[in-house]
Structure 1
Amino acid sequence: MTEAIIHGIILAFGLIIPLGVQNVFVFNQGALQPTFIRALPVVITAGICDTILIVAAVSGVSLLVLSFAWLENIIFGVGVIFLLYMGLFLWRSSTTTAKVAGEIFSTRKQILFAASVSLLNPHAILDTIGVIGTNSLTYFGNERWAFTLTTIVVSWLWFLGLAISGRYFGKLDSSGKRMGLLNKVSALVVWGVAVYMAIKLLGNLMIT
């Protein structure tokens, strides 16, 4: 069981540490919200969404998705459109917008955006389903439960840490200029992922 736990920790960190749309949004909200409590809806929603994806992956959904190329293409197509929109939204977030974004994002809007960047992000979906799902197949019984719970706990702790880090970043950025710059860098990252997904989609379509 120890091996399964260590495996889960290494795998989970390997998947969630790279800068992506979900991480960017959680960090931004931690920095922009007036209090840490106001950023908790983002953390909780992202954690719940990752938990759903992980449980679905371990339960065998990964085999279903990987068996149907058209389903993967749909995920890519929807994801590319969504990522292009998110990148545009972040790019247009000027310094002024960054300073008032905490008021703009109500609890409901935070939950909706966090859910969308978690569940409509093909990179997160395919990583969770394809990588965690397939790796879980090497374990059975209690070991598989240990592996699954470990990846879930790491995911929740990571999102909590991102929000806390964002909170401290926001305190250091009294002028909002750094936040505006971060939004633009984040937009470039998001667009980069969108281009990567579009290339993958075109490759799949050409093969079929």
Structure 2
Amino acid sequence: MNLLSAAFSGFALGGSLIIAIGAQNAFILRQGLIRSHVFVLCFICALSDALLIAAGVGGLGTVISQSPLLISAVTLGGALFLGTYAVMAFRRAAKPGVLVAGAPESMALKPAVLACLAFTFLNPHVYLDTVVLLGSLSAAYHGAERAAYGLGAATASFAWFFGLGYGARFLAPVFARPAAWRILDVLIGIVMSMLALGLMVSFLRGG
């Protein structure tokens, strides 16, 4: 396994986890639509993810890597979790929703930042996705490969939030239609399924 492969795995998993209908994405889309504090808010979201990913990869991943049994348990758990996530994505594709951006009203920088932090850190799934899942699965990598994996996952966050924030004016009409989310969720489901299958194969081979 090389650095590029590790970075791509981190990017693919990080991207798959972050791209979903949710309050945080809806907030960033809304701010992007009205072009209000876009850079600051996108940077806060992406940096928050990067810090949480670093904590998981640098701390939790190190602890797990010291126990082969724990690695196997995490690998199996990760496969089951990703498989479940894939099923959820396919179910969302069957009954797609829409991403509601909200009314085109601007707000001052301070309340916008506070709202952004609340959407980020008051969401329990952000810890599951970054610290627990991404951090635990980093145990499959060592040294520079682990760093590349974490960097890939963090890069996915930066790419998504800045792409969403600055591309909002183009994305909003598209993702206001259920069909667009159906296609996106199908793609997410496929990626999750492939990652889950890879982890399951690794588990069956004994890591």
TM-score of Structure 1 vs Structure 2, range by shorter chain: 0.5 to 0.7
What is the aligned partner in structure 2 of residue 29 from structure 1?
25
1:129 has 2:127 as partner: no
Cα displacement string for residues 97-142 of structure 1 (whole angstroms, at most 9, x for unaligned residues): 2134799x975454424333334646x742x2212xx1349xxxxx
Query: Which of 117, 127, 132 in structure 2 is aligned with 1:115?
Result: 127
State the alpha-carbon separation in 1 of the partners of residues 92 and 178 from structure 2: 12
1:98 is paired with a residue whose SS is: coil
State the alpha-carbon separation in 2 of the partners of residues 168 and 67 from structure 1: 41
If the length of structure 2 is used for normalisation, what is the TM-score? Answer: 0.58
What is the aligned partner in structure 1 of residue 67 from structure 2?
64
* Deviation of the 1:199 alpha carbon: 7.3
> Across the two proteins, how many residue pairs are aligned to each other?
182
More displaced stretch, 15-24 vs 166-175:
15-24
1:163 has 2:170 as partner: no
Unaligned runs of 5+ in 2: 33-37, 105-114
State the alpha-carbon separation in 2 of the partners of residues 66 and 193 from structure 1: 26
What is the aligned partner in structure 2 of residue 140 from structure 1?
none
1:29 is paired with a residue whose SS is: helix
State the alpha-carbon separation in 2 of the partners of residues 200 and 155 from structure 1: 17
Quick check: 2:60–2:136 contact (8 Å CA) kept in 1?
no
1:192 has 2:190 as partner: yes
| Paired residue type of 2:25 | Q
What is the aligned partner in structure 2 of residue 141 from structure 1?
none
Unaligned runs of 5+ in 1: 1-6, 138-146
* Deviation of the 1:151 alpha carbon: 7.2
Cα distance change on mapping 1:102 and 1:108 into 2, 3 Å = farther
* Deviation of the 1:171 alpha carbon: 1.1
* Deviation of the 1:189 alpha carbon: 2.6
Cα distance change on mapping 1:66 and 1:171 into 2, 3 Å = farther
If the length of structure 1 is used for normalisation, what is the TM-score? Answer: 0.58
State the alpha-carbon separation in 1 of the partners of residues 70 and 171 from structure 2: 47
The Cα RMSD (Å) is 4.6
State the alpha-carbon separation in 1 of the partners of residues 61 and 144 from structure 2: 6
What is the aligned partner in structure 2 of residue 144 from structure 1?
none
What is the aligned partner in structure 1 of residue 12 from structure 2?
18
| Paired residue type of 1:187 | D
Sequence identity, in percent?
5
Cα distance change on mapping 1:177 and 1:80 into 2, 3 Å = closer
Cα distance change on mapping 1:195 and 1:58 into 2, 3 Å = closer
**Higher share of residues assigned helix:** 1
2:130 is paired with a residue whose SS is: helix
* Deviation of the 1:51 alpha carbon: 0.6
